[in-house]
Amino acid sequence: MSEVSNHSFLRIAIRTVAILSLFTIALINYRSSVLPYSAFSVANAMTLIDIEHFKSIGLIKDIVYFFTVVMVIHIFWSLLITVTFYSIRAKGSFELQNELLWLLLVLCHITFVVGLNSYLYPTSISAYFRGYVYSEPAFLIVLGIILFILFSIGLTRIKHTFSISKLVLILSLFITYPFITALKPQITVDKPNIIIVGVDGLRPDHLAYEGAPIRYAPFINSLLSKSEIYNSSYSPQGRTYVAWMSILTGQYPKTNGARFNLAPPELINKRLPLLNALHSNGYHSSYAMDERRFNQIDESYGFKSTAGPKIGAADAFISSFADLPYINILLNHPYSGYAFPYLHNNRAYGKAYQPNLFNKEVIKTLSTDTPNLLAVHFCQLHWPYTSVNFIENQANEWRGNYSHYMYKAMLRKVDSQLAHFFSELARLKYLNNAIVYFISDHGEGFKLNASIDTEQSEGIPALQSWGHGTNVLDQTQSKVLLAKMKFEDGRVIGNANIIEGLFSLIDILPSINKELNLNLAEPLDGIPLPVKTKSKHSDRYLFVESSLPLKAINASFIDEKKVVSEVGSSYVVLPSGKAIMKPEDYITLLSRKQRSVYQGKHQLALLPESDSLVLLDFANKDARVIIEEENDLRVNKLLIRLCQFYKDDFGFDKSNRCAGLKTASHENGKGLNRTVNNAN
């Protein structure tokens, strides 16, 4: 072994760190030059924070931690290059030759990393070698083998070879261990696994049971063809967090207090009776979601385990900044959850999101020897419609609406992810005895062909809007998928049905309560889902409310800065690093909510922004504004229900539409003054 001074080794390592840092700075500058907005402007938009309010110690810690990890990567990478350099270093005084060899070696490492990133993540902005020979597998394999051999030779030419070689071997085993350990199957349990699978923004009219082509989502359609599908199902509100809180409590947002995303924790009752009851019955509970910016459900709500990226305001800032080749490559490793908790399995960082890796992480949270409650939500179908690979060019699907075109392309991707997820659940025997609820949290508005013609009506508010949770009159935003299936030995059993009626996501928990005989004492707004082809609750009333009807979101392309200017002042970052809505604004913004009630084939909506009452008649495809002097029996019945339910809501009915209404009438139907719970 040749003598290598510590001074020489350290000098080369420091120079290598410097050039790798310059490489990173060049990548960041290039990214800034090709994108119309900076990393911070994206963070500002997505987390609704401003640089002037950068006072959260938690947020600062998260960002400092990220840059510290990046620096550590530079140091380890430089050590790897420095050791390798000693395998090609010329002996003697050939300094210029050694300088050139060192620079060539650094360039080979950078070429390998950028090439591998281009191969694994072609949609990455730093995939500079996409389409070139440097990203071809054959080139990467040859170059990787050469670099590995040179590193091995370099180990023999530095001091303390034996000790360092042992350290390298231990590190190698530690790094490869997660890849050689297999998931264990579940043993036979006497109680069924309860699995709630949610798909963000999945519209029922894009599924075969509502007439859409099977090719949009072949696996989902195949699964639904064996399921009980509850037609005319609605989300209490078209927002993910609010919808999931309604699922987990069996209550409307007004009842459980979750009225907006990023709700202040002090205004939300995190105690979930369902979890307490299941834990008492020997269940393990898991909550998993691959995008957490606006849904902060975690272990603090009572779940025993969770999966997905870390929750916090730093999410958007880091994911907007992190498109660097070495970070993207490292995200394939399970340990990246510790190094990059905001990027690991984060669908919001779509260019490096690996669906099957998220599936594996979700399944790892499950218990193998007790029954499980798994609530999992897949977000690939959510804006901004990015993915690790380019979408398929489906020219026949183009209808002049870019967002809708991308939505259909991403539907095929989430369909493939679900096919893999269910296949793994079956392989590992979690579907040997299981009850599965398959749902969407809300729809998505694209302003496609209207189902109700309003040309003959004057003063009708818009019945279609972009996005979700912004317009209760847009049925594509609030109508959702709700299906149920039972599995035995990995296969769906029972008869497939499409059950007519009015249903809501709040009906899932009462159904679980009845199925498992949990005897929950908590009052529920929902009802157990029926098993017959028609619900006996044909006269049921359902309530759907909006979030904030933002003008900035009601567009085909969202302008982040406009979103911030419209509502940014309503949010604050806590010392923990989490972004929440200010409690004082949380209450006052209730007055801007749209509220509506469904019954039969009708919907009545009270819209504060236009101070109007609108009736939709789905049977006759008609919409009309109700004037104050009008005395319509159906309208009065619906309005009474709406007024009863929301009467204590802050800012509800500023125009006093509810004043003077009779709450009980034999002529209008007995019991109109009963509570909504009893009515349902």
At residue 175, the pLDDT reads 87
- Confidence at 166, pLDDT banded by 50, 70, 90: confident
Which pLDDT band, with edges at 50, 70 and 90, does 676 fall under?
Answer: very low
How are the residues of the chain apportioned to helix, strand and coil, as percentages rounded to the nearest 5? 45, 15, 40
Which range, of 102-111, 186-195, 562-571, 573-582, averages the lowest pLDDT? Answer: 562-571
Extended strands (E) in 424-502: 433-440, 445-446, 466-467, 479-480, 482-488, 491-493, 497-499
**Range with lowest mean pLDDT among 89-93, 250-254, 309-313, 354-358:** 89-93
Residue 679 has a pLDDT of 37
Instruction: Sketch out the chain's domains with CATH numbers.
Output: 6-179 (no CATH), 193-309+350-535 (3.40.720.10)
Question: For 54, how many CA atoms within 13 A lie in the half-sphere containing its CB?
Answer: 13
577 or 362, which is more confident? 362
Q: What is the pLDDT of residue 551?
A: 57
According to the model, what pLDDT value does residue 120 have? 95
User: Which of the four pLDDT bands, split at 50, 70 and 90, describes residue 628?
Assistant: confident
Q: What is the mean pLDDT of residues 336-363?
A: 94
Say what the pLDDT of residue 288 is.
98
pLDDT tens digits, 488-539: 999 999 989 999 999 999 999 999 999 999 999 889 999 999 987 766 666 8
Mean pLDDT of 634-643: 94
User: Is 580 or 204 the better-scoring residue by pLDDT?
Assistant: 204
- Tell me the per-residue pLDDT of 51-75, one tens digit each, with 9 for 90 and over: 545 678 899 999 999 999 999 999 9
SS (H, E, C) 169-238: HHHHHHHHHHHHCCCCCCCCCCCCEEEEEEECCCCHHHCHHHCCCHHHCHHHHHHHCCCEEECCEECCEC
Separation between Cα atoms, residue 378 and residue 439, nearest integer Å? 11
pLDDT band, very low/low/confident/very high, at 454 (cuts 50, 70, 90):
low
**Highest-pLDDT range among 41-45, 152-156, 314-318:** 152-156
pLDDT of residue 363: 97
pLDDT value at residue 35: 67
Cα distances from 96 to residues 7, 18, 370, in angstroms, run: 19, 19, 66
Per-residue DSSP letter, 534: B
* Cα distance between residue 539 and residue 226, in whole Å: 28
pLDDT at 625 > cutoff 70: yes
Residue 323: which residues within 8 A CB-CB, separation 6 or more?
A: 31, 124, 125, 126, 351, 352
Is 157 a residue whose pLDDT tops 50?
yes
**pLDDT value for 145:** 97
**pLDDT band at 561; cut points 50, 70, 90:** low
| pLDDT value at residue 2 | 45
Please give the pLDDT value at position 627: 85
pLDDT value, residue 673? 36
| Residue range 642-671, pLDDT digits in tens | 999 999 898 898 888 888 775 433 333 333
Question: Is pLDDT above 80 for 456?
Answer: no
For residue 51, the model assigns a pLDDT of: 54
Instruction: Out of 306-320, 474-488, 497-511, pick the least confident.
Output: 306-320
Can you tell me the mean pLDDT for 279-299?
94
Task: Write the DSSP string, 566-580.
Answer: HHGGGEEE-TTS-EE
